[in-house]
C-alpha cells in the first residue's frame, strides 16, 4: 500500500504534458514501421491523445463523490434495487486491449438510496481505467457498500477480453463472468438466488 502511495506522490510531481504524450505516440508509430509524416497519420498522435483521455478518464474522477448525494425519503423501501445490462468498455492492464461487456449491480438499502444514474456512473468511473475484471467487480461492489452503508451489494460482470479474442489463444466467442457479493447477498442465499434470477431474465 505504501509503495502505491509513494508512486502516486511521484506521479503528481512528474506530470506528463499532452505534447510529451503525442511524441510518445509518434515513437510508437515509428517502432511499428510506419511513417508518422504520411498524410493519413499526420493527425493520428493528436487523435490518439484525445481517445486515450476518453478511454482513461476514470483516473480523474472520484467514485465516492458520485455517491455523496443520497435520498432517505423512500417510505421504508428495504428490498433490493437491481440495475442490469450496464455496458462496459474498459482496457486490460496486461495488454491494454479492450474489455467489452455488461455489468449488473444490485444493493439492499438500509436507510439511503442513490439516484439510478449514479450506479451506471460508478461502473463507468472504474471501467475507464486499466483493469482486471476481478478487481473491477470488487471495486464497484465495495465502493457502493461503503458509500450507502447498504445491507448488501451484488455485482456481476460478463465481458469479452480482446487480449484473448484478437491475440494469443484467439477464442473469439469466449466471455468471462465475475461476481462479488457483500452483506445479505453473501450471507443469505435467498437474496443471491433472487438476484441471479433477475439478471438472467
Interval 43-85: pLDDT, tens: 999 999 999 999 999 999 999 999 999 988 778 888 999 999 9
Q: Which three cell numbers stand for residue 157?
A: 460482470
Q: Look at 31 and 78; give whichever has higher pLDDT.
A: 31
- Of residues 22, 61, 83, 95, which has the active-site annotation? 95
Q: Catalytic: which of 23, 94, 134, 187?
A: 94
163 is an active site residue:
yes
H or E element, residue 24: helix 18-32
Which of these ranges, 69-73, 142-146, 181-185, has the smallest mean pLDDT? 69-73
- State yes or no: is 92 an active-site residue: yes
Based on the residue annotation, tell me whether 91 is a catalytic residue of this protein.
Answer: no
Catalytic one of 104, 131, 139, 163: 163
Q: Active site residue: 91, 124, 131, 133, which one?
A: 133
Average pLDDT in the 132-158 region?
97
**Spatial separation of the C-alpha atoms in residues 94 and 90, rounded to whole Å:** 12
The answer to whether the CB of 99 falls within 8 A of the CB of 178 is no
| pLDDT classification of 1: cutoffs 50, 70, 90 | low
For this structure, is 61 an active site residue?
no
Clarify whether 161 is annotated catalytic: yes
Q: Where would I find the H helices in 33-188? A: 44-55, 63-66, 116-127, 133-148, 162-165, 184-187
- For residue 137, which of 145, 147, 148, 126 has the smallest C-alpha distance? 126
Asked if 54 is an active-site residue, the reply is no
State the pLDDT at residue 14: 79
Domains, the chain, in order of start with CATH, read: 2-55 (1.10.286.10), 70-200 (3.30.1130.10)
Which residue among 92, 104, 124, 192 is the active-site one? 92
Per the CB < 8 A criterion, the answer to whether 27 and 48 are in contact is no
Amino acid at each position: 500500500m505504501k509503495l502505491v502511495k509513494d508512486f502516486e506522490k511521484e506521479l503528481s510531481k512528474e506530470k506528463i504534458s499532452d505534447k510529451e504524450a503525442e511524441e510518445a505516440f509518434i515513437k510508437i508509430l515509428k517502432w511499428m514501421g510506419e511513417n508518422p509524416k504520411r498524410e493519413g497519420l499526420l493527425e493520428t498522435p493528436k487523435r490518439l491523445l484525445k481517445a486515450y483521455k476518453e478511454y482513461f478518464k476514470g483516473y480523474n474522477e472520484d467514485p465516492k463523490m458520485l455517491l455523496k448525494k443520497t435520498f432517505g425519503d423512500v417510505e421504508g423501501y428495504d428490498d433490493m434495487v437491481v440495475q442490469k445490462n450496464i455496458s462496459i468498455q474498459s482496457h486490460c492492464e496486461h495488454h491494454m486491449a479492450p474489455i467489452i461487456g455488461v455489468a449488473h449491480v444490485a444493493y439492499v438499502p438500509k436507510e439511503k438510496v442513490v439516484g439510478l444514474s449514479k450506479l451506471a456512473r460508478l461502473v463507468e468511473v472504474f471501467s475507464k481505467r486499466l483493469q482486471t475484471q476481478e478487481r473491477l467487480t470488487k471495486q464497484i461492489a465495495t465502493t457502493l457498500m461503503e458509500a450507502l452503508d447498504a445491507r448488501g451489494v451484488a455485482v456481476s460482470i460478463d465481458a469479452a477480453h480482446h487480449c484473448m479474442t484478437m491475440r494469443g489463444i484467439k477464442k473469439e466467442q469466449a466471455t468471462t463472468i465475475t461476481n462479488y457479493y457483500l452483506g445479505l447477498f453473501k450471507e443469505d442465499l435467498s437474496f443471491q438466488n433472487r438476484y441471479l434470477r433477475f439478471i438472467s431474465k
